[in-house]
Structures are given as C-alpha cells and as structure tokens.
Amino acid sequence: MTATSPPAAFPELRQAIQDLCRHYPNTYWRELDERREYPDTFVQALTEAGWLAALIPEQYGGAGLGVTEASVILEEINRCGGNAGACHAQMYTMGTILRHGSAAQKEKFLPAIANGELRLQAFGVTEPTTGSDTTKLKTRAVRRGDVYVINGQKVWTSRVQHSDLMLLLARTTPLEEIRKKSEGLSVFLVDLRDVKPGSLAVTPIRTMMNHETNQVFFDDLEVPADNLIGEEGRGFRYILDGMNVERILIAAECIGDGDWFIDRSTNYAGERVVFGRPIGQNQGIQFPLARAYVNLRAADLMRYRAAALFDAGQACGAEANMTKLLAADASWQAANAAVQTHGGFGFAQEYDIERKFRETRLYQVAPVSTNLILSYIAEHVLGLPRSY
C-alpha cells in the first residue's frame, strides 16, 4: 500500500493478488503491448490460482465468492499496472449458464470452466449495423432438427482466439413477428473447438490498445440444440441479467486504473523538481489529481453499494450503471491528469502512463457507453420519457 491508498477492504485478498501480480510487472505488460500479444502466462497463473473461478459456486469447483470479492480481484490487477480486460469475461460470462442453464449444462461446463480446462471468455452480442440497439440484431439462428443453423456477423468479439466457448446472442424469431422488442432473441453456447470448417471466420481488429478483438462471421454454423441456454426467445433478458455484474466488475478495474495513475503521479510530482521546487507543490498539478482522487473514492463507494446489493440478491441496475459511469469518468480523469503531471514523460512508453491511458479510455465506450448509461438513469431512475 502506498501513501495515497485509501484504507482498503479485503486486505488478505488484495495481498494475494499483489503477490501474483509481482511476477507480471509493468515491463511484462509493456512488452506484450509492443508485440500486441495476449498475456497467456498471466492468465494461466490467475486461472491456476483459482481467481478466475471466483464467482463459480463451490459445488461446481469454484471459489463461491461474491461479486464484491470478485471486483476486488480485478481492481487489484489493474492497480498493479496490469490489464484485467484480457480475461475478466472468464469470471462473469459463465453467469448466464449458472443462472439460466439446465442442470445438465451446469454439470457439463461449470466444473471445466472452474478448473481452467475450458475457457469461456468470448461473448458475441454487438453487431456492426445495429451497435447499441441490441434488440435489432440480425444474426439469425434457425432450428433444423437437433441443431440450430446460424448465419450473420458480430463485431468486437473479444478474446475469441483465446476461448474454447463463446456465448452468442442470435435472433430466433424475425423482428416483424415479435410483440415486444426484447423477445425473439436466444442465447447459445458455441463450442469453438467443434465447428465445421468454413462455418466460422474470425478477422482480428487492430485497436489503439493491446486487446484481442475480432469480427466474427457465421456461415451455416451448426450449434446443437442442447446448447441453447434457457428458453428460446428469452435470451435478451438473460444477457441483461448478466450486465450488472459486468458493469460492477469493470467499474472496479477502472478504480484500480485510477488509483494506479494517482500513485504514479503523486510519486512523480513529489520527486520532479522544476523552478527549484517539486512540481507537486503547484496547485495546477495538485488540483487535477485531487479532483480525480475524490471522484475515484465516490465511484468506489458506489461500487461496494452495487456489489452488496447484487450479492444480497437485490435489484442493483441503477447502482451498477452509476458506478460504471463514475469509475470510467474518474479513471479517465486520473489518466489525463497523470499525462499532464508527467509532462513529456507521460508520452514515453517506458513510463507506462501512455499504455494505461489507452487501456482505460475503452471504458467510456465499452461494454456500454456513458451516453447509454445516462439514458438508463434518466428513464429508469428519474422516470423521464425514453429518448430512443
């Protein structure tokens, strides 16, 4: 813990993650970033230590922890300078099977996900032509005997090249035949190891940060009907159900990023002497850091509130969205302040500020953009008319 750290909950859990992350220092992440490679050894170590199985109940071989503890795990990874975004979905994507899958699906998949035999960290929802308007998605799944035949396209399907399974949202009833727009979509578990040649094509997308993400094309991809999760036509609700967990966990990663930026910046501002005094003595340097810190702590409180509600089985949609927005804004504010504090060195690769700056920027857009969170709050919390 550094001088700027707040008194942290779960000190033993944090210590365990810090101990693991010590083997993957900033140089590890920097070199991967330069080579645009996946953090294989880190993800393997995290899996072997059982941390990615935090949310899987003990009866299926997981740690049976709550979202609160899971959020602390991901926060600490980012706080140590790493990027949990490379594997965070392995923690929560399985929630759709856990909450909506059949007993047979849970028995078949959860223990193997828990022990790391299977990776389920690809999640295909977003499509190029419909974007945030998820209920309009066009990828089509048609039942033919014992299989569903899938045709269409996804974009930004992350980690698909480092996953054995993909959770896929596809349309099973044409849009014009449904009564409510949330109906007619279904969730499938696609076994990527078992697809017919030519039925699935993956094209990587090069992004501003080192993030393995892709366009995915389906051409008569056959998925066994046994791999339909829950009831046909109710998939959108199942996906929505998992989004609160995703938002809470990603908020925690942003908090980890933000505190990393603040630590680095306060240390640097205390040491860098210009005009005969530390730059940190100038209010022009202090205030942006202080403001980002205040906003981080507010996001942090909302994170614990949202996670506690989720862990108690209570509604947490508003809190999960609010912490995601507060944390993404605060980490971005801290990132900007860090670049400014470091002057020219903020741009130098060896300081890692520019890498983390690029990494944390994502969370203003994904997995849900700030505008759509504000729309959610306006409509569902403030009772204002739906704007779209």
Ligand X SMILES: Cc1cc2nc3c(=O)[nH]c(=O)nc-3n(C[C@H](O)[C@H](O)[C@H](O)COP(=O)(O)OP(=O)(O)OC[C@H]3O[C@@H](n4cnc5c(N)ncnc54)[C@H](O)[C@@H]3O)c2cc1C
The nearer residue to ligand X, 139 or 172, going by C-beta atoms, is: 139
Comparison of 65 and 167: residue with beta carbon closer to ligand X: 167
Q: How far apart are CA 9 and CA 19, in angstroms?
A: 17
Minimum CB separation of residue 60 from ligand X in Å reads 24
- Secondary structure of 347-367 in the HEC alphabet? HCHHHCHHHHHHHHHHHHCCC
Taking the least distance from each CB to ligand X, the nearer of 348 and 374 is 374
- d(CA 110, CA 119) in angstroms, rounded, equals 10
Minimum Å gap between C-beta 92 and ligand X is 12
Closest approach, Cβ 282 to ligand X, in A, equals 35
Q: Shortest distance, CB of residue 247 to ligand X, whole angstroms? A: 12
Closer of 126 and 321 to ligand X (Cβ): 126
Cβ atoms within 10 Å of 270's Cβ, excluding its own: 13
Could you say which DSSP state residue 6 is in? P
Residue 225 vs 372, nearer CB to ligand X: 372
Q: How many Å apart are CA 176 and CA 204, to the nearest integer? A: 33
CB 85 → ligand X: shortest distance, Å? 8
State the nearest-atom distance from the C-beta of 136 to ligand X, in Å: 11
Q: Helices (DSSP H) in the chain: which residue ranges?
A: 11-21, 26-35, 40-48, 67-79, 88-92, 95-100, 103-114, 235-271, 283-311, 317-342, 353-361, 370-376
Q: Which residue is nearest to ligand X (CB)?
A: 131
- Judged by beta carbon, residue 63 or residue 366, the one nearer ligand X is 366
Q: For binding to ligand X (CB under 6 A), which residues are involved?
A: 123-126, 131-132, 156-158, 207, 211, 213, 362, 365-369, 371-372, 375, 388
Euclidean distance between CA atoms 32 and 45, whole angstroms: 16
Estimate to the nearest angstrom the gap between the alpha carbon of 316 and the chain centroid. 17
